[in-house]
Chain A
Amino acid sequence: EVQLLESGGGLVQPGGSLRLSCAASGFTFSSYAMSWVRQAPGKGPEWVSAISGNGGGTYYADSVKGRFTISRDNSKNTLSLQMNSLRVEDTAVYYCAKKLSASGTFDYWGQGTLATVSS
């Protein structure tokens, strides 16, 4: 059974940093691209960042480019998102999501972790 478990969310002041993690199990982690998708309160999902299976390719939404860094450790089946220079508008539930092969689709999602940026 595929499981994705996020952690690391919390309350941080504007300009601060958070590091999110996602522990994956139930599939061959290194074979799949992964993404972070966020959802602000009452809004639709917004894709944030993606990383290829071997970690060699990383991609970012313009809204987070230069501030967020995605990474993965295939030996530990872990996906991470380092978030720096946080803004109030980064407040959201952050989900890690597994990409369905040969499809621009996310077939499994974690339960999400809430990051709140507020003074």
Chain B
Amino acid sequence: KQEVTQIPAALSVPEGENLVLNCSFTDSAIYNLQWFRQDPGKGLTSLLLIQSSQREQTSGRLNASLDKSSGRSTLYIAASQPGDSATYLCAVLNQAGTALIFGKGTTLSVSS
């Protein structure tokens, strides 16, 4: 059974710092991996999607990498801002596309 783990569970950084969020999964047979952002009381916002054949994706200050063989993904946030404060979730879609399994998330707090 696929399990997704995110480390750390919580992270506090001062504004301007670069940071890395980690995601690991136990079954490398995935279709894709997505990073989401969840603000308190809100739904999910998709940040980056990496197909299983890809190694990384970039969007603005965000860069996500995928090492499928080792079951790891990282989300790199450059020059963090207070507006980046949120919970970041990673999720893997199985190869059949029938189940999206989430990690518990990393709650990020960026102070000004």
B and A form one assembly: no
A interface, CB within 8 angstroms of B: none
B interface, CB within 8 angstroms of A: none
